Structure 1
């Protein structure tokens, strides 16, 4: 699928899984869509699985946005607490579109928890509380890190009924994935690897068709430890290799060592968990000339988790390290806290400089980076996807310096290989459906979504936006009555769909979309819409709604196919709207 087609589908308000090879333009499409939504005045939450991934699209982590934090499970009690947090409730309720980037690194249970939070806070039973959800990622990337030896529960969480759990760690195994009715947009253009030969190798890994030719191409990039470029970033599969290389490099630098020790307070079990998840070491040794990476986000000081730099000195009074980043900025680095909070009170906390040595980094940490050149040793790769992620970090074959590899380096998870073929097929079907659709119908869907979300139509183009003065970066509120409220008022005056459309000079399909949105927001009850269907359709409702329930779906296509096309999509939409949960 092309970027243009994917963007057109997104603009209809459909829930979407946006995927494709590294360099296919996923982030470009997301940025384009976010810009479009901003110009339409629609509130958008931009999130990702990790700090560095979030910053690639200018967002925050999904854990922070949803309020689930570091929880591995969510009880009904936890949901109630989140739903009474004023700032979380405001954030989630004003959101119309939720974007989750690097979804491959989010576990199935995490996605399930986020969806449960959205429904609870929105007070709407539809998937994700009726939000448009855009999941972005590539499952050939590294899977989520799952703690298979979860510690015994502490008294921090009450032993209440937990929400539905998943049997597999991939997010597509979450029970909410099929319920969300995602349209798959599989991007097929390549914009990162200009090297066709190298792109062919990466594609062969994805399709599990690596042969003699591909192995010969990779073998042509073998180097020895004595011939590797000194300035190139080194990628390894194990932390042990990374730690040893970083220590050796530090010892070769002349000058005195400055030692910074982590501080901790609070519950011991929570402190242990925090230390395990923190990328900064308990004992951090630094010298002038040390290559470092930031391990936490600080927008005020201008660094994020993954920013690279070099220690160029230490402040005279405070003794803090001064780091020069790759783009030339100088930052005096202060200690930062990693807390676990409960109702605004810290139960445990660790404090350390948000830094670690970075001559070498793990393949896991490199995900999302794009490098001109890198040195890597894939001879100890132990996880599906590690080799592919490492190789796809570099832009061309010339930038690849390989110390070795094993056969696991070319292996992909069989479950991912299978689901990816399914995603490709779904994308083809979606593309055919939307490309065959008359442009006037497509634009009508896009218009309906913007208006139903409280946005402005037509959407301002970039030229209009740039010429419009900004006042304190705040959006000027509309003086007119919200479009949904106006439709609601007219419906409760016993006016018909046709009468409301004529009075408001809108299409009947737009008014119907308003009614759907009002039901999702619990402003209208299905019982208030009994006069919507025709007498003929009213008699058929029990039969149609039974099929919806039997198939356990809210999607129209499965019901349409099950009933052999006996009823139109408009009739099915009405039946779905009147369906009591």
Structure 2
């Protein structure tokens, strides 16, 4: 029986290499606690994939978040936390430290406002894709007391959570022990594994062939993937079919599917969603339920047989014929019902599209969270953790081929992450950085008080001025008639004076 590691008290950081079951643990937890749990992720794609909100939407995080004051958030922005017991942030590795700091300070304000303690669960693997900090932003990170690496664990808010670390070690994706051990060493930046991967997957004689048409090609750049896919599609002598996505209230580049999907009969494709087909009673169709989630899963391969106007017929790798209809991905926002005070998840946008894409090539970034049976990898990576992400996508070593040899410069782990691991998932914040953050928070607090006082004083002055004006009006009204008489007397006196002179 499955024992969920999230079913314990206190704040948790659940981590582990790819394929250890982090997402499964979250999904299982949400089945039982969705009524009181707020689920979000660091990116739009990750949020759609888990059926939650983005962290930026949930916590009202500005972009950029450094120098911003969460104390300025109105109660209406924080009302969603009034009925929550737990908050889960998935893919924490890609949430920048300035955004994470703002989110936790906003949460702390909500706890005080609604007099409740809210549990925090963070999930992710810092060995995988890092947060994006542009070069021209680094000086602002220093100015506002944030580590230039951008990792969430470098903040004082991470330290204050006193997280219990749950590291999942049993890899579900692969079963080959030698392969798993070398992957784990690669994850930690150990370049002694280079010879193992080169000998077995570049020079290996009885492994996957580089020209295997059923294998997916993993590369580091979007341009390279797009060019490969277009070249492959052009080589197929068959009519092209185009499927336009239907979008409602959803924008941005980070979408779980392509805006336009181009397909041809005979093309190798990959599913971009899990099948959610259910029967009349709401249960999964057991006739096809090989994968326990329907007829196909995200990342599974197939070949296009027929392109129809509203669907695509494909043949899966195990020979099944499946009619694929458009899939709906939704973006959610959490709210609290004003009448019932019950927390609910409202759909605020959606995109509907055929859940398929040409699978000749895919970027390492887009491969995250997917599992492939056959793949060819170009190891010329440019970001820390990319090679590990790529190699850990494969389900069996026999399905892997390296297009070129791995070199020492390809084995990249961020030095900040390396230090975090070496210190057993802890981080020592430099005194100067901590001091800078506290100074900024103090300034933000002192700025608020005079503003509130000034506002109150201005209000009193306005009331006093209004009262004084009313009194003046009354006095003027009373003296209107008497004010004319002295003027008349003055005129008479002047006439008498003039007569005397004469």
The answer, yes or no, to whether TM exceeds 0.5 is yes
8 Å CA contact retained: 1:76, 1:163: no
1:180 alignment partner in structure 2: 161
Structure showing greater relative contact order (alpha-carbon pairs closer than 8 Å, 6 or more residues apart): 2
User: CA-to-partner distance for each residue in 1:545-572, whole Å, 9 max, x for gaps?
Assistant: xxxx9xx9xxxxxxxxxxxxxxxxxxxx
User: Are 1:288 and 2:265 an aligned pair?
Assistant: yes
Q: Secondary structure at the match of 1:423?
A: coil
- C-alpha change, 1:164 and 1:94, in structure 2 (3 Å) is farther
User: CA-to-partner distance for each residue in 1:501-533, whole Å, 9 max, x for gaps?
Assistant: xxxxxxxxxxxxxxxxxxxxxxxxxxxxxxxxx
Q: In 2, distance between residues paired with 1:398 and 1:171?
A: 37
1:140 alignment partner in structure 2: 127
1:332 alignment partner in structure 2: 325
Aligned counterpart for 2:237 among listed residues 249, 254, 270: 254
8 Å CA contact retained: 2:215, 2:376: yes
> What is the deviation of 1:247?
0.7
Q: Secondary structure at the match of 1:248?
A: helix
> What is the deviation of 1:252?
1.9
2:92 alignment partner in structure 1: 103
Q: In 2, distance between residues paired with 1:355 and 1:25?
A: 24
- C-alpha change, 1:64 and 1:132, in structure 2 (3 Å) is same
Q: In 2, distance between residues paired with 1:64 and 1:294?
A: 28
1:322 alignment partner in structure 2: 312
2:464 alignment partner in structure 1: none
1:345 alignment partner in structure 2: none
> What is the deviation of 1:222?
1.6
User: Are 1:234 and 2:227 an aligned pair?
Assistant: no
> What is the deviation of 1:356?
4.5
Alignment of structure 1 residues 371-520 onto 2, 5 Å: 371-378=372-379, 380-404=380-404, 405-423=406-424
> What is the deviation of 1:118?
2.8
> What is the deviation of 1:24?
4.0
> What is the deviation of 1:381?
0.7
Q: In 1, distance between residues paired with 2:377 and 2:172?
A: 23
- C-alpha change, 1:396 and 1:416, in structure 2 (3 Å) is same
User: CA-to-partner distance for each residue in 1:219-263, whole Å, 9 max, x for gaps?
Assistant: 321279964432122211111221121112111222222346789
Q: Secondary structure at the match of 2:424?
A: helix
> What is the deviation of 1:21?
2.7
8 Å CA contact retained: 1:112, 1:164: no
2:13 alignment partner in structure 1: 17
Alignment of structure 1 residues 537-548 onto 2, 5 Å: none
Q: In 1, distance between residues paired with 2:376 and 2:127?
A: 21
Alignment of structure 1 residues 215-230 onto 2, 5 Å: 215-222=195-202, 227-230=210-213
- C-alpha change, 1:114 and 1:290, in structure 2 (3 Å) is farther
8 Å CA contact retained: 2:210, 2:376: no
- C-alpha change, 1:305 and 1:46, in structure 2 (3 Å) is farther
> What is the deviation of 1:101?
2.4
> What is the deviation of 1:350?
10
1:194 alignment partner in structure 2: 175
Q: In 1, distance between residues paired with 2:59 and 2:306?
A: 38
8 Å CA contact retained: 2:217, 2:361: yes
> What is the deviation of 1:280?
5.3
- C-alpha change, 1:180 and 1:351, in structure 2 (3 Å) is same
- C-alpha change, 1:275 and 1:261, in structure 2 (3 Å) is farther
> What is the deviation of 1:173?
2.3
User: CA-to-partner distance for each residue in 1:391-448, whole Å, 9 max, x for gaps?
Assistant: 111233222211123333322111111101223589xxxxxxxxxxxxxxxxxxxxxx
User: Are 1:48 and 2:50 an aligned pair?
Assistant: no
> What is the deviation of 1:96?
0.8
Query: Size of the alignment, in residue pairs?
Result: 384
- C-alpha change, 1:296 and 1:132, in structure 2 (3 Å) is same
8 Å CA contact retained: 2:241, 2:264: yes
CA RMSD of the aligned region, Å?
Answer: 4.8
Normalising to structure 2: TM-score of the pair?
0.61
Normalising to structure 1: TM-score of the pair?
0.54
- C-alpha change, 1:300 and 1:55, in structure 2 (3 Å) is farther
Q: In 1, distance between residues paired with 2:15 and 2:350?
A: 37
8 Å CA contact retained: 1:51, 1:60: no
In structure 1, the gaps of 5 or more residues are 151-161, 341-347, 427-548, 553-581
8 Å CA contact retained: 2:273, 2:327: no
Q: In 2, distance between residues paired with 1:25 and 1:263?
A: 32
Greater alpha carbon shift after TM alignment, 199-208 vs 222-231 = 222-231
Q: In 2, distance between residues paired with 1:136 and 1:263?
A: 31
- C-alpha change, 1:246 and 1:263, in structure 2 (3 Å) is same
Q: Secondary structure at the match of 2:265?
A: coil
8 Å CA contact retained: 2:52, 2:331: no
Q: Secondary structure at the match of 1:235?
A: strand
- C-alpha change, 1:121 and 1:329, in structure 2 (3 Å) is farther
